[in-house]
């Protein structure tokens, strides 16, 4: 019993230092990481596919594979680029803000186009 208790105590002591260690490691990240515009475009397309087919996981996965292939990016490359970006919290936040802005702009254009089409049909044009 004492042995497992000692192991738990050591684990708890180690956990106390974890936030400080993570802060030290993240503080060592120098510079900013900025993904290229093509990666931002790719991410936005993948996000739109995920949102557009949220109820059909198989369809989402199929479309994501097609989008990655169109951009000539493997899933491993995409994952690696995303991880690199996430290693820089400020850059990740700005990146996500850009993605959200682009997705919302696309959705607004789609909604506007849908309304315009509906109005044209209603007016008999």
Residue 49 near residue 67, CB atoms below 8 Å: yes
Query: What confidence tier does 35 reach under pLDDT thresholds 50, 70, 90?
Result: confident
The chain-wide mean pLDDT, for the chain, equals 80
Segment holding 80, helix H or strand E:
helix 75-86
CA–CA distance, 19 with 16 (Å, rounded to integer): 7
Q: What confidence tens digit (pLDDT) does each residue in 70-94 have?
A: 999 999 999 999 999 999 999 999 9
Give just the sign of the alpha carbon dihedral 83, 86, 91, 97.
Answer: positive
pTM of the model: 0.65
Decide if pLDDT at 58 tops 90.
yes
């Amino acid at each position: 019993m004492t042995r497992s208790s000692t192991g738990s105590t050591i684990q708890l002591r180690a956990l106390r230092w974890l936030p400080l260690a993570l802060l030290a490691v993240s503080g060592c990240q120098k510079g900013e990481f900025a993904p290229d515009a093509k990666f931002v475009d790719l991410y936005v397309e993948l996000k739109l596919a995920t949102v557009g087919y949220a109820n059909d996981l198989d369809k989402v996965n199929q479309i994501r594979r097609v989008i990655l292939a169109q951009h000539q990016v493997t899933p491993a490359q995409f994952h690696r680029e995303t991880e690199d970006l996430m290693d820089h919290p400020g850059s990740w936040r700005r990146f996500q803000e850009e993605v959200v802005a682009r997705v919302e702009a696309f959705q607004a254009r789609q909604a506007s186009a849908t309304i315009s089409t509906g109005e044209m049909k209603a007016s008999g044009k």
